[in-house]
Structure 1
Amino acid sequence: MRFHTRKWVKPQDLNPNGTLFGGQLLAWIDEELALYAIIQLESPRVVTKSMSEINFRRSAKQGDIIEIGIDVVKFGNTSLTLQCEVRNMMTRETIITIDTTTMVNLGPDGKPKAHGKTKIEFVKDRLIEN
């Protein structure tokens, strides 16, 4: 699993129990998965189609630094299916897992559009040296 983004849990991210609000965490995850899919598919028109069961394992508290990890499960014709894990950066304890999230590439008409990708690509490998 590649961990891409870190978030610092701040007071505005907490629920009444004083721990990280699950809705805030899911918003961070959805944004990170969308950005990952946009970069992989080289398309700005990507939407979340579905998420599998979300498994909250531990909570995070104010001051914790969490990191969001993503792995590619599969490339579909119009979609990219991703797996996600969020963990506490300091303790390495898993906070949440999501087995699959399906992101779909859209055309200008808002309908699913083939993206032509079949494997993970790294941006550095796409750059042409001068």
Structure 2
Amino acid sequence: MESYKLVLPEHLNHYGYLFGGNLLKWVDEVSWIAASRDHPGCRFVTVAMDRVEFHHPIREGSILRISALEGARGRTSTRYAVEVFCDDLDSGREAPVFTTHVSFVCLDEQGAKCPIPEEPSVAQG
């Protein structure tokens, strides 16, 4: 799944760069949406985000492309690889600015871990 975000003044820290917490929020949100769309009916909560490292500063007016793809799935959890790219509108190129993996666990209505339903198999014919 891909999503785009425009960096606005309210997203900046006091030095004029994107506040890291905003990027983490967007990464969590986009990867949660990807997991929820890939596994309809599951109630996912975030349980982990691995290495958090910002590769380049991000300025106001930047357009970010956030890509989230399922990388691994267990019985009750799933893990998404997330990459964030920053567009250079003048050159048309984009540069990678952030990568991480976000892990989610599936919960039942009482908040206990539950299995992620198996995807229906495609009939051979």
TM-score bucket of the superposed structures, by smaller chain: 0.7 to 0.9
**% of aligned pairs identical?**
28
1:107 corresponding residue in structure 2: 108
Which piece of structure 1 moves more, 8-17 or 35-44?
A: 35-44
Instruction: Give ranges in structure 1 of 5+ residues lacking alignment.
Output: 120-130
- Bigger Rg, structure 1 or 2: 2
* Partner deviation per Cα, 1:25-83 (whole Å, 9 max, x = no partner): 10011111111111111125210011111121011111110010112211111111111
Is the 8 Å Cα contact of residues 41 and 117 (structure 1) preserved in structure 2? no
5+ residue gaps, structure 2, are 121-125
Decide whether the 8 Å contact of 1:73 with 1:81 is kept in 2: yes
Count residues with an aligned counterpart.
116
Q: 1:23 aligns with which of 13, 21, 24?
A: 21
For 2:40, the aligned partner's letter is E
Distance in 1, Cα, partners of 2:76 & 2:53: 27
Residues 13-22 or 38-47, more deviating: 38-47
TM-score normalized with structure 1 length: 0.83
The equivalent of 1:122 in structure 2 is: none
TM-score (norm: length of structure 2): 0.86
